[in-house]
């Protein structure tokens, strides 16, 4: 088969005007070992078609299922419309419950109760807690020391850049005054 005949058959095939016999000719040609160069992509397509079985026919209730799916889409819109009004109402009710619960919880008893009867024990307990907090804060600040060093090094880098920028600016000012002769 020459390139002109092959192009005509492929044109018919891709436009949907080929006969069953012409399609069989194309499948047989492209399943062979030797094909014209430039038709490698078509070879892969037709080899796939030849190895695959025919496309199965849709089931008898296929159209009914499509119609039911389309009709079901309308009920989804109604459900979404329902949700649009219901969700804000539920959110408002939940926020009212949270506010009321917080008020009742926090406003139980307005007086502070002393937990220690001896002021010396209360002082020692407070001191112990503050010492523990201080130790933990010191540990946290020690962990941040490398960050401080990085910040210091960055500042040194910026200072060096600023010095070199000032030197360049001074030299450029001197160049403005120089006249170039041709």
What is the rounded CA–CA span in Å between residue 9 and residue 15?
10
User: Which pLDDT band, with edges at 50, 70 and 90, does 73 fall under?
Assistant: low
What is the rounded CA–CA span in Å between residue 113 and residue 117?
10
pLDDT the model gives residue 75: 61
pLDDT digits (tens, 9 = 90+) for 91-150: 888 999 999 888 888 777 656 666 778 888 888 889 999 999 998 888 888 887 887 788
Instruction: Please report, for the chain, the start and end positions of each structural domain, with discontinuous segments joined by +.
Output: 3-51, 116-182
Helix (H) or strand (E) run with residue 109 in it: none
Q: Which residues contact 30 (CB under 8 A, 6 or more apart)?
A: 39, 42, 43, 45, 46, 47, 50
- Say which residue the tokens 């992509």 belong to: 41
What is the rounded CA–CA span in Å between residue 140 and residue 129?
17
pLDDT digits (tens, 9 = 90+) for 38-61: 888 888 887 777 776 666 677 888
What is the rounded CA–CA span in Å between residue 12 and residue 5?
11
- Say which residue the tokens 């390139």 belong to: 3
23 in Cβ contact with 31 (< 8 Å): no
pLDDT digits (tens, 9 = 90+) for 149-166: 888 888 888 888 888 787
pLDDT digits (tens, 9 = 90+) for 8-37: 888 888 888 888 888 888 888 888 888 888
């Amino acid at each position: 088969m020459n390139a002109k005949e092959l192009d005509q058959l492929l044109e018919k095939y891709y436009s949907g005007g080929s006969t069953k016999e012409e399609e069989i000719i194309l499948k047989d040609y492209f399943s062979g070992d030797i094909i014209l160069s430039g038709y490698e992509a078509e070879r892969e397509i037709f080899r796939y078609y030849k190895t695959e079985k025919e496309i199965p026919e849709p089931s008898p209730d296929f159209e009914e299922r499509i119609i039911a799916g389309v009709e079901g889409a309308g009920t989804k819109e109604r459900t979404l419309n329902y949700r649009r009004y219901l969700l804000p109402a539920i959110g408002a009710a939940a926020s009212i419950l949270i506010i009321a619960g917080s008020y009742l919880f926090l406003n139980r008893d307005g007086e502070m109760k002393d937990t220690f009867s001896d002021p010396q024990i209360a002082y020692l307990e407070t001191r112990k807690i503050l010492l523990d907090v201080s130790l933990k804060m010191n540990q946290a600040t020690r962990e941040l020391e490398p960050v401080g060093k990085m910040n210091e090094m960055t500042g040194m880098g910026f200072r060096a850049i600023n010095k070199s920028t000032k030197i360049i600016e001074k030299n450029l000012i001197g160049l403005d005054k120089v006249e170039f002769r041709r």
